[in-house]
Amino acid sequence: MSILSAISSSQTKTGIRVVLSGVEKVGKTTLATNAPRPLLIPLETGYSGVVVNKVPMLEHYAHVMQLLDEIAQACAAGQFAYQSLVFDSGTALERLIHTAVLATDPQYAAGNKKGVTMESALGGYGKAYQVANQFFDEFLKKCDLLAVHFGINIIITCHVFAAKIVDPTVGEYDSWDLLLHSPKNQKTYGKREMIARALVRH
C-alpha cells in the first residue's frame, strides 16, 4: 500500500494526559473522576467515598501492565466503554515499581528483604532506580498508545511535598513538588522528571 495514498486531512483526536497533584484529602480523586466516562484504577486506599466504576485495587506492577494490555485489546475490538482512566495514584505506582525492581535482586529474592533497598539493590550506584525508570517508561508508553490510538484520557493523581527553593534572583521560598523519585543532580533524571517531560511533550 502506498503511504502517499493514505494522506488524511482530518483532525486526529487524542486523549489528554494530565497529572492532578495536591496534598492528601484535598479532593484529587473526586476531581479526576469527574472526567468523561471515567474508570478508576486504584493503586492505594483512600477512594472508598468516591462513587465511580472501578477495578479492584491493584497491588502489583505486573497487574497494572496486564490491565493496560487488556484495555488496549478491548479498545481495538470496540468493546471498551470508558473514555478516561484515572490512576490513583502515581506515588503509589512508584512504590509498586520499586517493589517489582527489588524483587529482581538475588538477595531480596533469597529472603533478605530488609537488607535490600533501592540504593543497594542490583549492585548499587543507582542501578535499581535506572531499572525503575525503565518500568515507568513502559507504563507511560502503554498510556500513550491508549491516548493516541484510541482517544483515551490518561489522568494520574499524585501526592506532593513541600520543597525549599533557593533562587538567587528572588531569594528562598517554598514550593510544592510531585512526590516521586528525583536524583536532582542535573545528569540523570527520575520519574518526577519523566512525567513532567511527558506532559510537556504531549
What residues form DSSP beta bridges with 177? 161
Nearest CA among 107, 98, 89 for reference residue 128: 98
Residue of higher predicted confidence among 56 and 171: 56
Condensed to tens digits (0 to 9), the pLDDT of residues 14-49 reads 898 898 878 788 888 899 999 999 999 999 887 777
Contact 178, 168 (CB under 8 A): no
pLDDT mean over 59-68: 97
**Across 62-78, average pLDDT:** 97
The rounded mean pLDDT for the chain is 84
Q: Is the pLDDT of residue 200 over 50?
A: no
Band the pLDDT of 1: cuts 50, 70, 90.
low
Q: Residue 196: pLDDT band by 50, 70, 90 thresholds?
A: low
Spatial contact of 192 and 136, defined as CB atoms under 8 Å apart: no
